[in-house]
Amino acid sequence: MPGASTLRLVVVDDHPLFVRGLELLLPITTNGRAEVVASTGDAAAAAALVSNHCPDLALVDLHMPPPGGIRAVAAIRRTTPRVRVVAMSGSAEPGPAVEALRAGAEGFLPKTSEPEELLPPLLAILDGWAVLPAELLRTMLRPTRFAAVDLDGEERRLLRAIAAGRSTVDIAEELHVSERTVKRMTAALLRKLRVSNRAEAAALAGHSGILGE
């Protein structure tokens, strides 16, 4: 029987066979050190389930019907911030994984992982580490030069000004617009870049190489 140190998991995934496989194989492959205590295929019910069971970790599939896995990650983090969240996906596309990390996930694991391979990264995440597959990390660190974001000339000027630490007043003078317009343009630019504040926008600009263009 699992002891007091058993790692308790809640699984949020709408693929019953995958969930059932984890329920059956995790206790066996980890010598009773990990078990699934609850699961749901409804992303909207994820936060309540995690709150009710107070697991150590929540495994969340990112590709689920609305509201989707990323919103489930964010909801779990809001309602039970002590529970660490691990995003999972059967897709190699890095975009959803990055969004999940921004929503509060502490790690990402591919669903192709064998059950016997899961315990070390899960324990590392529980211990406060962020865990990512090497290929995903390389993709995240690779300069993008805004290949996925089409910025026009005015947006690039605005981004360079933000990265330079210019104030709203200074930017308004440079672009010959009102301060209110600068605030509106900045909010639109942040949404387009999928960042939450000016600091993240500046970091993205520096990482992409746009400042040297």
What percent of the chain lies above the pLDDT cut of 90? 52
What is the pLDDT at residue 191? 86
The domains located in the chain, with CATH, are 7-141 (3.40.50.2300), 153-212 (1.10.10.10)
Can you name the residues that pair with 60 across neighbouring β-strands? 12, 87
What gap in Å lies between CA 160 and CA 210, rounded to an integer?
Answer: 8
Residue 73 has pLDDT above 80, yes or no: yes
- In whole angstroms, how far apart are CA 211 and each of 150, 195, 202, 205? 16, 17, 9, 6
- In whole angstroms, how far apart are CA 2 and each of 11, 83, 152? 18, 20, 58
Report helix, strand or coil for 176: coil
65 close to 83: Cβ distance less than 8 angstroms:
no
**Eight-state DSSP code of residue 6:** P
What gap in Å lies between CA 27 and CA 56, rounded to an integer?
Answer: 15
Pairing type for strands 34-40 and 107-110 reads unpaired
Q: Please give the mean pLDDT across all residues of the chain.
A: 86
- Taking only the tens place, the pLDDT of each residue in 33-69 is 999 999 999 999 999 999 999 999 999 999 999 999 9
Phi, psi of 153 (to 5 degrees): -60, -40
DSSP 106-165: SEEEETTS-GGGTHHHHHHHHTT--B--HHHHHHHHS--TTTTS---HHHHHHHHHHHTT
Q: Is the pTM of this model over 0.85?
A: no
Report helix, strand or coil for 52: helix
- Taking only the tens place, the pLDDT of each residue in 123-143 is 999 888 888 887 777 766 665
Q: Which residues contact 131 (CB under 8 A, 6 or more apart)?
A: 86, 106, 107, 108, 109, 121, 124, 125
Phi, psi of 12 (to 5 degrees): -115, 100
Question: What confidence tier does 2 reach under pLDDT thresholds 50, 70, 90?
Answer: very low
